Structure 1
Amino acid sequence: MDIVSRFIRYTQFNTTCNRKNAAQGQIPSSDGQWELARHLENELIELGLEDVNVNDKCIVTATLPANTNQDIPTVAFFGHLDTSAERDTDTNAQILPYNGGDLCLNPELGIYLKQSEFPELENYLGDDIIVTDGTSLLGADDKAAIAAIMNVLAHLKANPEIPHGTIKVGFLPDEEVGLRGAKAFDVEAFGADFAYTLDCCAIGDMVYENWNAGDVKVVFHGQSAHPMSAKGKLKNSLLMAHKFIAMLPGGEAPQYTEGREGYYWVKELHGSSAETVLTIDIRDFTEEGYEQRKVFMKAMEASCNALWGEGSVTLTVSDRYSNVENSLKGENRYPIDIAKAAYAQCGITPNVIPMRGGYDGSILSQNGLPCPNLFTGAHNFHSIYEYLPVKSLKAASDVVLAVVEQTRRHFDKSAS
């Protein structure tokens, strides 16, 4: 099966995550993820991989044993099974030639992928592009990753003369709803030395830097009173929450920041005059900056309690995930070096970008499995305008294969 047919086959599984089910602790959050997992299990068995398993959390794992006596660390590749919840309709993927201008996705509904809105289309003039009919997501996030990885496994099985070390693969559920598959993943039992996720962006993009991320929960304790006798008694927790929000740094919010600029993101507010709960995301690329933001939050709590009375505000901070770069420093930098060598082998110039978000590798890395993030080649994730140039998909698979080769070369060179 060629990689394009493989990808389109995977898009036919509706693996939309379910936020409500996820919030209730169900993993995976949708039945479609089980269906794709079982399909991949069968494919991996048919390919002849070993230790093929789908566990009770819908995590798919398998091993391609080494075919050389060279001492090579075990490399792993990961993709995620679920697609984002922005759309839950079935995917109707189609391959269209791009000859410039706007690309019509659905003539009946008048839906176009407009060159004026997506100028990077010019980079794919003359290419075939995989799109939807404009009524769903494409699911390249992250089925393009699964297709690229499975394509490499099939290639290596069909060409046993290509020397390689042990290769492991993992396909995880519910990345889109809190990286829940990665959090449930047993890194130690898996047995890999380093890994790569494929969960990013255009051809050439590479990520080994993302947020240090934390969750802040602020509870405002008020005092309710009947308005007839409220004077001097009513302590309105809703107004306290609004004043707290107003004291946050005005320009340090997602809508005002970019690149490596951190922020405070007011996510949710609910309650009554008696008690109100506020949730805030804090994000920073540096460990120092992240710690300073946590200190600032606690200082806000102390200041408000001094203003409104002790016990008026209770604030807790919990860490969500850390910057992958924290796990890729010094002697642990070799996965980055191998990836860059793989890009060069494929004639691709790396475009190193910071990810203003998290991905499964964030969790895997902090749990002891260093994990940069490679491109799938797709654009416009989480949108009906998501598209995947065929050449970019093939390039993603080529890079995975090159990583296998460069891993062998890197450690052969180190040994000598």
Structure 2
Amino acid sequence: MDIIERFLSYTRINTTTSREKGAAGIMPSSDGQMELAKLLAKELEALGMEEVVLRDTAILTATLPSNIKGEQTIPTVSFFAHLDTSAEQTNDTNAQIVSYQGGDICLNPALEIILKESEFPELVNYVGDDIIVTDGTSLLGADDKAAIAAIMNALQVLKADPSIPHGTVKVAFVPDEEQGLRGAKAFDVESFGADFGYTLDCCGIGEFVHENWNAGDAIITFTGQSAHPMSAKGKLKNSLLMAHQFISMLPGGEAPQYTEGREGYYWVKELSGNSAKTVLKMDIRDFYKDGYRDRMAFLQNLSDSFAKLWGDSSISINLSDRYENVANSLEGDASFPIDIAKAAYARNNIEMKAIPMRGGYDGAVLSQKGLPCPNIFTGAHNFHSIYEYLPVNSLKAASNVVVDVIRITAEEAN
């Protein structure tokens, strides 16, 4: 099957993640994710993959056995993609292929929805290429169905050409990445049996991720004392005002809207309550281990200071870690997945552009579980948007890189 046909067939299955079902602990959170997983399981079996296992969580795994005879030990490489698409748009996808000759692309004449070159200037890099776009009423689903198509196509290439040497290759497709990396968190790395891996998620052609946030959460509860206003003097302790005072003491300029690159932040994410009780939820992010620890310690110290000011029962704080920076798992001798990917990019005449990801992805969780897992591009742009698009040559390049990562892993073991 052609890689474009593969991708388009996957986009026809609506796999929008459900935040409501996810919050209730249901996985997969949408029926479409299981439908896609079942289709992929059939395709993997048709390709001759072994150990094809589909779990009731929609976590799907499969193995391509080594075709190299002998006693040399070849590391087992693995590849991951997620089944779900983001909940920003829930409509079915109506993908279309445009032969791009420059300028704007009219996605939907009836609704006058236009992908404008002035707003998305990187389009000029794809003049003369075919580009897959939406009709402007949904996401495209290249996040992450482009990754699924690239991985499946790579397996097809390896099966069709036994002259390409490869060790054992593992693949996994997981649900509900778009709401807290839930599939990766449920994934059993130990039984999977891979030595290292790669996710394919996000990014234009050539981009590569081997560092992201150290991420944590804070839930701060302020408990006040309500009183009727006619007798409130000396009695009323307004928890809403306590929360606002706490927020005002966060470092100025260290919020998402003021930061970029590797600059960390505190994100006031949610504030709810009344004068008697208020709950503040925050995200804490920092690329550096020491910086992350300092941020968490700062919040704890600030909470302790408020307890002295307002009383021990007036404030409580719950600090928790969400995921670590992938770079923590790729230091020193463990950096070889980066070197293999760099060689695979070069073999395809692609300049590697290493970027720090200001967010989380499945590889962060998998790396923390002991499976070093940087991220390869899919070639798509504008994820989580009706203006999401996928250049065809970029998708093909992603699949070619996967093949060469597998090939180079075998070559370097000899």
Global fold match (TM > 0.5): yes
What's the counterpart of residue 12 of structure 1?
Answer: 12
What displacement does 1:273 show?
1.0
CA contact (8 A) 1:129 1:387 kept: yes
Q: Distance in 2 between matches of 1:403 and 1:204?
A: 14
Number of equivalences: 412
What's the counterpart of residue 303 of structure 1?
Answer: 305
What's the counterpart of residue 288 of structure 1?
Answer: 290
Between 1:195-204 and 1:303-312, the stretch displaced more is 303-312
Q: Distance in 1 between matches of 2:44 and 2:27?
A: 22
Q: Distance in 2 between matches of 1:409 and 1:297?
A: 49
2:235 corresponds to which of 213, 233, 236: 233
What's the counterpart of residue 213 of structure 2?
Answer: 211
Letter aligned with residue 364 of structure 2: S
C-alpha offsets along residues 59-110 of structure 1, whole Å, 9 cap, x if unaligned?
Answer: 0000000010342010000000000000000000000011111011111111
What's the counterpart of residue 177 of structure 2?
Answer: 175
What's the counterpart of residue 372 of structure 1?
Answer: 374
Letter aligned with residue 113 of structure 2: I
5+ residue gaps, structure 2, are: none
Q: Distance in 2 between matches of 1:282 and 1:116?
A: 34
C-alpha offsets along residues 311-349 of structure 1, whole Å, 9 cap, x if unaligned?
Answer: 211111100000000000111000000000000010001
Q: Distance in 2 between matches of 1:159 and 1:242?
A: 64
SS at match of 1:176: coil
What's the counterpart of residue 410 of structure 1?
Answer: 412
What's the counterpart of residue 47 of structure 2?
Answer: 47
SS at match of 1:175: coil
Matches for 1:5-404 after TM superposition, within 5 Å:
5-69=5-69, 70-404=72-406
Letter aligned with residue 377 of structure 2: F
C-alpha offsets along residues 44-68 of structure 1, whole Å, 9 cap, x if unaligned?
Answer: 1111100001112110000000010
Q: Distance in 1 between matches of 2:304 and 2:313?
A: 10
C-alpha offsets along residues 143-187 of structure 1, whole Å, 9 cap, x if unaligned?
Answer: 000000000111111112211000000000000000000000000
Q: Distance in 1 between matches of 2:57 and 2:214?
A: 26
What displacement does 1:200 show?
1.8
Letter aligned with residue 342 of structure 1: A
What displacement does 1:307 show?
1.5
What displacement does 1:216 show?
0.3
Letter aligned with residue 331 of structure 2: K
Taking structure 2 as the reference length, the TM-score comes to: 0.99
Between 1:270-279 and 1:305-314, the stretch displaced more is 305-314
Between 1:296-305 and 1:137-146, the stretch displaced more is 296-305
Q: Distance in 1 between matches of 2:146 and 2:152?
A: 10
Letter aligned with residue 40 of structure 2: L
SS at match of 1:177: coil
Q: Distance in 1 between matches of 2:336 and 2:413?
A: 10
5+ residue gaps, structure 1, are: none
Percent identity, aligned pairs only?
69
Letter aligned with residue 347 of structure 2: Q
SS at match of 2:218: strand
C-alpha offsets along residues 238-295 of structure 1, whole Å, 9 cap, x if unaligned?
Answer: 1101111111112000000000000000001111111111000000000000000011
Q: Distance in 2 between matches of 1:175 and 1:83?
A: 8
Letter aligned with residue 14 of structure 1: N
What displacement does 1:310 show?
2.0
What displacement does 1:411 show?
2.1
Q: Distance in 2 between matches of 1:80 and 1:162?
A: 27
What displacement does 1:309 show?
1.7
What displacement does 1:297 show?
0.4
Taking structure 1 as the reference length, the TM-score comes to: 0.98
Q: Distance in 2 between matches of 1:42 and 1:76?
A: 19
Would you identify which runs of 4 or more consecutive aligned residues in structure 1 move more than 3 Å? none
Q: Distance in 2 between matches of 1:262 and 1:56?
A: 38
CA contact (8 A) 1:200 1:206 kept: no
Q: Distance in 2 between matches of 1:48 and 1:344?
A: 30
Q: Distance in 1 between matches of 2:270 and 2:29?
A: 22
Between 1:402-411 and 1:392-401, the stretch displaced more is 402-411
Q: Distance in 1 between matches of 2:403 and 2:163?
A: 14
RMSD of aligned alpha carbons: 0.7
Letter aligned with residue 84 of structure 1: S
Q: Distance in 1 between matches of 2:121 and 2:323?
A: 33
C-alpha offsets along residues 357-394 of structure 1, whole Å, 9 cap, x if unaligned?
Answer: 00000000000000000000000000000000000000
Letter aligned with residue 393 of structure 1: L
Q: Distance in 1 between matches of 2:165 and 2:115?
A: 43
Q: Distance in 2 between matches of 1:102 and 1:157?
A: 40
